[in-house]
C-alpha cells in the first residue's frame, strides 16, 4: 500500500516534507494504526502518539486524507491510496505526526472541567435522578482527542481566545450536570464574542468526532441558556 507521511524533525530538517512510503501489508481487518506501526518497525525515526489502540484514549488523532480521525479505529481497506497522514491541523508540530496539545488543553482548563458544589458533602454520594443523568449523554463521552477542535476554522484563527468545540462540549457537560452549582459563573465565563460566539455552527466538529458526538448541539444549548437568562 502507498502512504504519504508528514515528516519533520526540528533538529535536522529546515522544513517539514511529505515522505512517500510503500508498505507490504494485507489491509483486510487492519486499522490505519497497524500500518503506521508497521512503517515505524521499518523506520524507527517515525514519531507518533498512540496508547490504547482501540479508540478510547484519544492519543493517535491524525489528519488522514484531509479528515481528522483516530488512526486506531480507521479501517485500512476503506482509505484511498496514497493514504496521506498529517498531524492535526492548527496546532504546533513537535515532530512528524506529534503536535503540541497545550493550546487545546489550555482552553479545556479554562472552562473548569470539574464539579463545583459547595453544599456539605453527603455521607455516601451526590445522587442524580435518571432524567438528570440522561442530560449528560452525548457530552461525557468525549475523550479529548482534539479531532473536532482542530477541524474548526474558528479555532485555527483564534486558538488563544475561542474555547473550541471540545472545550464547549465539556463546558455544557458541567452546565447540564444537576450536581454542579456554578452554572451562572460558567455561563458568565463563556458569554463573550470570542470564547463562545466564534462558533458559526458550520458543524465541522460533528463531522470530525470519532465518537459520534455533537458539539454544535451542545453549543446551541449553551446559547439558548444565555438567551433565556437575558430575555
Among 33, 46, 62, 190, binds other proteins (CB under 8 A): 190
196 binds other proteins (CB under 8 A): yes
Q: What b-and-e string marks burial along 113-135, b requiring 16 or more CB atoms within 10 Å of the CB?
A: eeeeeeeeeeeeeeeeeeeeeeb
214 binds other proteins (CB under 8 A): no
17 binds other proteins (CB under 8 A): no
195 binds other proteins (CB under 8 A): yes
Question: Residue 195 CB, nearest distance to other proteins (Å)?
Answer: 5
Best CA proximity match to 144, nearest among 178, 179, 177, 113: 113
- Angle (nearest 5°) at CA 182 between 145 and 143: 10
> What is residue 186's DSSP assignment?
H
The site for other proteins, by CB under 8 A, has a size of: 23
Q: Are 166 and 199 in contact (CB under 8 A)?
A: no
Interface with other proteins in residues 84-143 (CB under 8 A): 110
Task: Please state, in angstroms and rounded to a whole number, the distance separating the CA atoms of residues 181 and 186.
Answer: 10
Sole window of 127-135, 170-178, 205-213, 220-228 interacting with other proteins (rule: CB under 8 A)? 220-228
The β-bridge relationship of strands 2-7 and 83-86 is parallel
Interface with other proteins in residues 144-163 (CB under 8 A): 154, 157-158, 160-161
State the residues that interact with other proteins by CB under 8 A.
110, 154, 157-158, 160-161, 188-198, 200, 223, 226-227, 230-231
Amino acid at each position: 500500500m502507498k502512504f504519504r507521511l508528514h515528516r519533520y524533525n526540528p533538529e535536522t530538517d529546515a522544513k517539514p516534507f511529505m515522505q512517500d512510503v510503500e508498505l507490504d501489508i494485507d489491509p483486510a481487518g487492519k486499522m490505519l494504526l497497524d500500518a503506521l506501526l508497521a512503517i515505524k518497525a521499518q523506520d524507527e525515526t517515525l514519531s507518533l502518539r498512540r496508547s490504547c489502540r482501540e479508540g478510547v484514549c484519544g492519543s493517535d488523532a491524525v489528519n488522514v486524507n484531509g479528515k481528522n480521525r483516530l488512526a486506531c479505529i480507521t479501517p485500512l481497506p476503506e482509505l484511498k491510496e496514497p493514504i496521506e497522514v498529517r498531524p492535526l491541523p492548527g496546532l504546533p508540530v513537535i515532530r512528524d505526526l506529534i503536535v503540541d496539545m497545550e493550546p487545546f488543553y489550555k482552553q479545556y482548563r479554562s472552562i473548569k472541567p470539574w464539579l463545583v458544589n459547595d453544599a456539605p458533602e453527603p455521607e455516601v454520594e451526590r445522587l442524580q435522578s435518571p432524567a438528570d443523568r440522561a442530560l449528560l449523554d452525548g457530552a461525557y463521552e468525549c475523550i479529548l482527542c482534539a479531532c473536532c477542535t482542530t477541524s474548526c476554522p474558528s479555532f485555527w484563527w483564534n486558538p488563544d481566545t475561542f474555547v473550541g468545540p471540545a472545550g464547549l462540549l465539556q463546558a455544557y457537560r458541567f452546565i447540564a450536570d444537576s450536581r454542579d452549582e456554578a452554572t451562572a459563573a460558567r455561563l458568565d465565563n463563556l458569554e463573550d464574542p470570542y470564547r463562545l460566539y466564534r462558533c458559526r455552527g458550520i458543524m465541522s466538529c460533528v463531522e470530525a468526532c470519532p465518537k459520534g458526538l455533537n458539539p454544535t448541539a451542545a453549543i446551541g444549548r449553551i446559547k439558548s441558556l444565555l438567551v433565556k437568562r437575558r430575555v
